[in-house]
């Protein structure tokens, strides 16, 4: 695992060749908050162009449409150079939002970090 780099509520590290972004906020509900969270993703994408980006939502209790939009922007940016974005550790309420909005058809979602890493790296 590489050194953990924390930027504005997002901690980035690398495990098994996968860039892992752990969100540190319990709620992503306002436009300014989502924009603040988008900035470190933009920096990570520009600096490192991760091919496999796993976003760990274990600390997120609630997401708004603004937060979902931010995740879709990240997905679009990563896919422009052939990468992909995966999500993990969604609680029941957050998962329900993703299911209701049919975002489970856009994002690959895994129940926990280890399962995510195993599947993304082809070890499962």
State pLDDT tens for residues 82-106. Answer: 999 999 999 999 999 999 999 999 9
What does residue 3 show for φ and ψ, rounded to 5 degrees?
-60, 140
- What span, in angstroms and rounded, lies between the C-alpha atoms of 48 and 57? 21
The residue segments making up the domain with residue 72 are: 5-120
Give alpha helix (H) positions in the chain.
31-48, 65-79, 92-100, 113-120
CATH number for position 45: 3.30.750.24
If one counts the domains in the chain, the total is 1
Average pLDDT on 105-119 reads 97
- What span, in angstroms and rounded, lies between the C-alpha atoms of 99 and 83? 23
State pLDDT tens for residues 60-86. Answer: 888 888 889 999 999 999 999 999 999
Q: Are strands 10-15 and 18-23 parallel, antiparallel or unpaired?
A: antiparallel
Residue at token pair 């992909």: 84
Closest C-alpha among 41, 116, 107, 110 to residue 74: 41
Measure the CA angle with vertex 48, ends 31 and 66; round to 5°: 15
- What span, in angstroms and rounded, lies between the C-alpha atoms of 33 and 113? 24
């Amino acid at each position: 695992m590489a050194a953990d780099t924390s930027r504005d509520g997002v901690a980035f590290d690398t495990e098994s060749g996968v860039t892992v972004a752990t969100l540190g906020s319990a709620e992503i509900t306002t436009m300014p908050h989502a924009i603040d969270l988008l900035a470190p993703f933009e920096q990570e994408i520009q600096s490192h162009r991760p091919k496999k980006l796993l976003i760990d939502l274990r600390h997120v209790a609630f997401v708004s449409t603004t937060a979902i939009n931010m995740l879709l922007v990240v997905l679009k940016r990563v896919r422009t150079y052939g990468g992909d974005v995966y999500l993990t550790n969604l609680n029941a309420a957050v998962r329900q939002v993703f299911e209701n909005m049919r975002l489970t058809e856009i994002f690959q979602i895994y129940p926990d970090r280890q399962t995510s890493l195993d599947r993304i790296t082809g070890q499962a």
